[in-house]
Amino acid sequence: MKIQLGIILIACTLTIARATTNDVLTVAVFDFDSKDEGVRDLGPKVATLVNANLSAQPQIITVERAELEKILSEQELGLSGTVKPDSAAKVGQLTGAKVLVTGRVFKAADQTLIVAKVIGTETGRVYGEMVQGPPAVSIVDLSSNLAVKVCAVIAQKSDTLLARVQTREERVAQIKHALEGKKLPVVSVKISEQHYGRHIIDPAAETELSLILQRCGFKLADAGSTVKPDVEISGEAFSAFGVQKGNLISCKSRVEIKVRDSATGNILAVDRQTSVGVDVAEQTAAKTALQNAAAEVAERVIPKLGGLGLGS
């Protein structure tokens, strides 16, 4: 059995490496539900063990448990097996996780069973896996075996768990289509940026958002422009070191923006996005994470700008 699991684990690692084309996949593991008599309090232990086994995979980065709990408590979402597919997108947006793992521990007859749900935060697809054993079986062994199966699901079903990554050109084309027939306002963009522990020379989030706006046909204005903006986009962005795996460094970022009508001062839209970037250099990884977050915000916000601040 151990030899068989070892073979599956090796195949899983190779498949993930191919499926993600050297990108690191971010996974969040929730506490497993364990309310039944005889398994009470096993849920958090199973989650910790599954998390540890998944984090050992070179192509997987797991969201720190303390950070996950803090984020979810602020949003009044439980760190438990009750997470549902319809809330997965929100959790993914808050944590940067592409895949959520949750489940339940329970007893049936003389067997201890652990059932896991693997949820894609971008697609809402859900897959299940299960392990079981007699009462004497070690929860460590069951959790390790489950982690192997979860890893295999992520590798084999990545095409349905993960949304296809859009190129900037595809994103711009999609936004342009949404703006067809609408008059475009003059827009200013000012997003302050900070990477913890390092000085920021050029703001990546502001640059990415401005670039997409420009390619979509918007006129941009800043403090030195003769034309005044109809719409002002302002906000904050920050990034921080995540973890290092071999030569690869991951950084996490968050971009928060407000869209304001310059004439009235009314706030027209608010949005935010968390993302992850990976590179061999920390500064480049941080900028990639900020760029990714800004691009996702742009995809949601820019189509709403048509006609804004123009009295229409």
99 Cβ contact list (under 8 Å, min separation 6)? 25, 26, 27, 28, 118, 119, 120, 121, 154, 161, 162
Model pTM above 0.75: no
Task: Compute the mean pLDDT over every residue in the chain, rounded to the nearest whole number.
Answer: 84
Handedness of CA 78, 79, 81, 87 (dihedral sign): positive
Confidence of residue 115 (pLDDT cuts 50, 70, 90): very high
Confidence of residue 17 (pLDDT cuts 50, 70, 90): very low
The predicted-structure confidence for 33-61, as pLDDT tens digits, reads as follows 888 888 888 999 999 999 999 988 878 88
Position 159 scores a pLDDT of 87
CA distance 186 to 203: 21
The predicted-structure confidence for 219-259, as pLDDT tens digits, reads as follows 999 989 999 999 999 999 999 988 777 777 888 899 999 99
Beta strand spans in the chain (E)? 25-29, 60-62, 99-108, 111-120, 126-133, 187-195, 231-245, 248-261, 267-279
| Dihedral, 69, 74, 79, 84 alpha carbons, nearest 10 | -140
Q: Which domains does the chain have, with CATH numbers?
A: 2-161 (3.40.50.10070), 168-305 (3.30.160.150)
Higher-pLDDT residue of 295 and 69 is: 295
Read off the DSSP letter of residue 35: -
How long a stretch of residues is the chain?
312
Q: Centre a 10 Å sphere on the Cβ of residue 7 and count the other Cβ atoms it contains.
A: 11
Position 197 scores a pLDDT of 65
The predicted-structure confidence for 156-204, as pLDDT tens digits, reads as follows 998 899 887 778 899 999 999 999 999 999 999 999 998 876 665 678 9
Higher-pLDDT residue of 114 and 249 is: 114
